[in-house]
């Protein structure tokens, strides 16, 4: 894939990207447990559906 930015556009994209990366900093600083896998959320949502619902309270 090739994406080209002309000089004016490069400035615009760089400024926006730097702003976004600043917002994403918490991800870079995280110390997550080694055993935490990235795809487990899908399985967790499916399992959660089988938990009893708060009916008839």
Partner 1 sequence: MTLREIAKKIRSGETSPSEIVRLLLEQIRRTDDKLQAYITVCEESSLKLAEAAELQLKAGHDLGVLHGIPVSIKDLYETEGIRTTCGSRLMQDYVPKKDSTVVARLKSKGAIVLGKLNTHEFALGAMSPPTKNPWDLGRIPGGSSGGSAAALAMGSAIATTGSDTGGSIRIPASFCGVVGLKPTYGRVSRAGIFPESWSLDHAGPLTKRLEDAALLLRIMAGRDELDPTSSDLPVPDYVQELETNIAGLRVGVPTNHFFEHCDCEIAKAVNAAVEVLEGLGCTKVEFEFPSISEIMAAYTTIDLCEASAYHEREIEQRAADFQPDVRLLLEQGLLIPASYYIQAQRVRAMLFAKVMSLFDHLDVIVTPSVPIVSPQVSQTIVRIDDYEESVDSAAVRYLAPFNLTGLPALSIPCGFSSKGLPIGMQIAGRAYDESTILRLGHEYENATEWHMRLPETS
The separation between CA 2 and the C-alpha centre of its own chain, rounded to angstroms, equals 24
Q: Tell me the residue ranges of DSSP E strands in 1-57.
A: none
- Taking CB under 8 A as the criterion, the residue among 7, 8, 11, 48 binding partner 1 is 48
- Tokens 């399992």 identify what position? 47
Question: Which pair of structure tokens corresponds to residue 33?
Answer: 């447990």
Q: Is 31 in the site for partner 1 (CB under 8 A)?
A: no
Q: Is 57 in the site for partner 1 (CB under 8 A)?
A: yes
Residues that bind partner 1 (CB under 8 A): 1-3, 5, 12-13, 16-17, 20-21, 23-28, 30, 32, 36-42, 44-46, 48-51, 53-57
């Amino acid at each position: 894939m090739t994406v080209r930015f002309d000089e004016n556009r490069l400035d615009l994209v760089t400024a926006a990207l730097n702003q976004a990366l600043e917002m994403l900093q918490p991800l870079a600083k995280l110390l997550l447990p080694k055993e935490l896998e990235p795809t487990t959320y899908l399985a967790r949502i499916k399992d959660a559906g089988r938990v009893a619902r708060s009916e008839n309270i």
